[in-house]
Structure 1
């Protein structure tokens, strides 16, 4: 059999499709195997590059394939879809994965270690609870508004007003409605307790990670953002530079350009929504406090805020935190998130 250069694997729950191609891109191996057969089949092949879509179970399988002597590369599903030929089936999907990985311009997905996956699981579980809490507060607010009680959207205001309404026996709230809202309030308090528990676990990860603490020196980056960044991109070696990282995070403008006409639209919002949200929230704190400071970074933020508005300035700060690199002309921001991860050196800002 001709030597396999790249082996594309369409990962599923029970049935896996394999497509092997030689250095010229010709198909030399096609096979459909069950889950319990996969390691035996892949282990019987000569060491090659295994291409996998970045999906559930991909990093677990990658570690097993690497133990068998193979090199594993991950590609995002959105870059695989354009290479699917004909109808949608497992065979064509595996061939498309193999073809996509061969393209030099296709960005690869950063690999994740067990530690990174553990940290990411903490963030995802916490975010799930936060979403449930938000939904619960909105439902309580809606039920109370239907009975004539209105208060602001802030969750802090909700924590203050809901107990007062429930404890006021002189208002027009019926006993059945009071009991119903009390149960929802109890659920919200339980969610608060669970979220605080996850916060403590994330803070423990932050305190025990030197990399996270280096990242947190950047203005607008706290424990949650630092741990989420390490969980998502590791040491940053998968990115050529800081601009590449900013584009991967979806913090750069979308383009709709043709000829000499360049049209820049809103940010692309690619990549991890959770990570981008954390960076933007941190940048919002930087923009909010900038008028009270007079160093070089905050002078730039204030000028941008006056020219482009609060929201654009916020996204610009988040983008700069991710991508800015050292330059001889302007040493105000010596390192970005990418540079701190890539070099292992501490963040150094302007004096």
Structure 2
């Protein structure tokens, strides 16, 4: 392969695709000096002939792998959220324009980038994604069973436990109310449900095993409402939280802050933004709801007085989001400081 003569190359934007990558590079004067399409397998060979510089890429599948490979070669990779690349995109959307926008965004000094995940974080994140998919499939199977039963004139109470305990009795005692084919279909869905239960249980045990050996997870689980699932999910996503300057930034990334539409010095706040990780945000909201179900324990927490006062002026759902925001900020502080959370110690609570 011919050598490139790009001594003044300042940044390269990489638009990552499934089979091909599109590269656009700028020199120190802001002139475009590189515009190339390469195969995925030619990535290493192509960058070996380029001078070491800043390499930007959007946060997407395989971005962490590409970032790690380029860092080992001496480049300075920057993984950029797609929402921060969009303002730099000129003209119509195509792969080269996307790569050019990424190259320009990578040069911004104050741009927030995504922290590079280690292999352990990627493995842990994969566990959570597999478990989430299995739970979704189990819910779909249960809903389909309910729908088929309703079509036969048979209704079951809403809870999962009610369906689990009643299904065998329905299939045994009310088989005359449905056809043989329908009964076989429901039995097949029940077998899928049992199989999914076992898979979910196995994946959950594996996640719990990680939480027992990971120091960051052990610190996070000292926070009220946070157990193995949330602690491992947080560690998988943010590591030690180096990508954020403070806990409020992490809570804002999760989408647990009001959306602003302010102008002329007038602050207008709306619903929460719901940006960032939907899965992690849901877990924090669920943790907050569990804490709110036990008001008799609020006095044990360092934030118990705040929770009691907020409960008198906030609607229940809004209070749950506010508490989820506080838990997320505490979680970042615990990870970043390396200190265990003590419900009797206000040192961490004051720091956020």
TM-score normalised by the chain length of structure 2: 0.92
Q: Which residue of 1 aligns with 2:183?
A: 178
The offset of 1:64, in angstroms, is 1.1
The offset of 1:294, in angstroms, is 2.5
Distance 1:154 1:169 in 2: 20
Distance 1:349 1:21 in 2: 52
Q: Which moved more, 1:257-266 or 1:205-214?
A: 257-266
2:306 counterpart of 1:312: no
SS in 2 for 1:106: coil
Which of these residues, 324, 330, 335, is aligned with residue 341 of structure 1? 335
2:121–2:237 CA contact under 8 A, matched in 1: yes
SS in 1 for 2:86: helix
Could you say if the C-alpha distance between residues 292 and 348 of structure 1 is closer, same or farther in structure 2, counting changes exceeding 3 Å?
A: closer
Q: How many residues align?
A: 339
2:71 counterpart of 1:77: no
Root-mean-square deviation (CA), in Å? 1.6
- Aligned counterparts, 1:238-253, within 5 A: 238-253=243-258
- Aligned counterparts, 1:276-315, within 5 A: 276-295=281-300, 296-315=302-321
Q: Which residue of 2 aligns with 1:165?
A: 170
Q: Which moved more, 1:303-312 or 1:289-298?
A: 289-298
Which of these residues, 25, 31, 56, is aligned with residue 26 of structure 1? 31
SS in 1 for 2:344: coil
Give CA-to-partner distance per residue, 1:214-245, whole Å, 9 cap, x none: 01111121100000000000111111111111
2:67 counterpart of 1:50: no
Which of these residues, 207, 220, 238, is aligned with residue 202 of structure 1? 207
Distance 1:25 1:342 in 2: 37
Which of these residues, 4, 13, 16, is aligned with residue 18 of structure 2? 13
Unaligned runs of 5+ residues in structure 1 are 324-335
SS in 1 for 2:271: strand
Could you say if the C-alpha distance between residues 24 and 341 of structure 1 is closer, same or farther in structure 2, counting changes exceeding 3 Å?
A: farther
Q: Which moved more, 1:168-177 or 1:284-293?
A: 168-177
2:116 counterpart of 1:108: no
Q: Which residue of 2 aligns with 1:328?
A: none
Q: Which residue of 2 aligns with 1:62?
A: 67
SS in 1 for 2:224: coil
